[in-house]
Structures are given as structure tokens and as C-alpha cells.
Amino acid sequence: MTKIKILVPVYNDWQSVFKLLENIDLQINDLNHEFSILIVNDCSTDERPTNNFNFKNLKSVIILNMKKNKGHARCIASGLKYINENEDYDYIIPMDGDGEDKPEELVLLINKLKDYPEEVITANRVKRSEGFFFKFCYTSHKYLTFIFTGQSIKFGNFICLPKFAVNKMVQEKSVWSSFSGAVAKLFKDRKFVPSIRGERYFGPSKMSFINLLKHSLSIIAVFKMTLLIRSIFFLIIYLFLVASNLSLITLLPAVGVMMMMISVIILSKRENLLEFKKSLENISSIDRIK
């Protein structure tokens, strides 16, 4: 039987996570695979519920409790490394723990596996549930990424990774900084299923404008050499075109591109393979709740 590990990072969102697990348990009822859950607890300060959960279809639920808060992307990276080194598995599916990655869409990924068992399968966003301002910012992020890197990245963390792909990812430093950026870099021939971004189960979204900006620049940083080359060409052409009409207004686009270049170079320092390889040293304890 195919063994599938679902990887869920969490920080102070236990109510949503256990609601997610209950829904996953329902959705996999008719899927003829063995599903297990690995939760990476990113040093949460809120107390974890101690309810007795009655999961009927999940094989196991394990929680890695981390010593220090490292952030969402690094939780996923640490989870990939832990599963790859300690678990028997065929596929790993990372999911956000708040309900925005819909458990109902697991069946789409699993059905796609039947035709493409050796391919990376992404859940590409075709519709989002956030307000106008966030949608505008996210669309801007996608176009900005495409213009300066040539990469059209329509997916987030909700991806089905076969074992060969995980073996490759745990050797790649960019995974430590940007999960989706690393996937786009390593696997050009990806398959996909359409995905509708769900609504959070509880509480407001934690993706602020600043976090979205950092997320966008972290993805771009994975392709920093392409960014630098395209940015230099843009600056040369743009400054040539406005040379006869220089002003604070006409220089704003050039200043914006230069600021982006500097920000990306700084963020690219997060890509640290040594830290990634030592990431399991950050585990303080492991709890098995099933």
C-alpha cells in the first residue's frame, strides 16, 4: 500500500490544525492509501489541546516540538528532512495548517498520482478567498516574480512530492528559505491540479503585507542570478529612455528595482545548507498522539 505523509507546520494555531486533521481523516476514507501526519510545532507559546481525538483513517499522528522558532518555510524543510531520514514513505504532501489548503482537494492530488506516479504535482491556485487588497498584492507578486525571474509560480506549499524529489530537496539550500521557490528551481516538468484557496478555520490570516513581501522576495532570491541580469538590463534600457527627462518621479522605478536587488541579495543569505543539515538538532521532543 502506498504510504503518504502529510506535513503540517504550526505556530499557535492548534484549533485550526486539529480541525484540519479531522477533515483530512474524513476525506481519505475512500482512498486506498496509508496516510500519516507529521506536525512541526514551531516553538508555539499557546498550549496544545489535550483532547482525545478519534481519527479512524489516519495511520499515525506525530508532533515534532522545536526548541526555537524558525518560521514556516524552515518548519517544512525540517519536516522533509525528518521524514526522509526516519520514516518509511512514498510521497510527502505539505499542507498549511489553517484550512486554506483544502483537505477536499487531497483526492485531486491522489487521482493525479495514478497517471503521473513519478512526477511532482502542485496544487495551482485558480481562485483565492481573500479580500481585494490581498488579491491585488498577490497578483502583483506573481507578475513581479515572472518578469524578473521568468518563473510562473502559481502554487504554494500544497504539493505532492515523490520520494526521489524529497531526496533531491533535502540536498538543496534554497529549501531552507523558500519551499515553493525551491520546487520551481529543481523540478521544471511539474504536473498540477486546480486548487481553490480555502478560508481559515479560525482567526484572521497571519499573512500581512510585510510577510507577503518577504515571501515574494524569498522566492525571487532563489533565482537571484536571473534577477540581477534582468534588473541590470532593465536599468540600462530604462535610464537610457528617461535620460532626457530625469526627475524624482522618473527615477522611482529605477530606485525600486535597485531596492529589490539589494533586498534579494540580503534574503538570499537565508539559504544555508549547513543550517538545513543540522535542522533536526532543533527538535526538543517528539509526541505521538496516535
State the cell numbers at 76.
517544512
User: Helix 248-267 to helix 224-242 angle, to the nearest 10 degrees?
Assistant: 170
Give the three-class secondary structure for 255: helix
**pLDDT value for 128:** 58
pLDDT in tens, 156-191: 899 999 999 999 999 999 999 999 999 999 999 999
In the numeric block, which cell numbers belong to residue 11?
505556530
Record the pTM: 0.91
CATH class of 3-138+151-205+272-288: alpha beta
pLDDT digits (tens, 9 = 90+) for 131-146: 666 677 777 777 888 8
Is beta strand 34-41 parallel, antiparallel or unpaired with respect to 3-10?
parallel
Task: State the angle between helix axes of 224-242 and 209-222 in degrees (0 to 180), rounded to the nearest 10.
Answer: 100
Q: Which of 181, 155, 188 is nearest to 73 (CA)?
A: 181
Count of other CB atoms within 10 angstroms of residue 40: 28
User: Model confidence over 215-245: pLDDT tens digits?
Assistant: 788 899 999 999 999 999 999 999 999 988 8
Q: Report CA-CA distances (Å) from 189 to 77, 116, 119.
A: 21, 11, 8
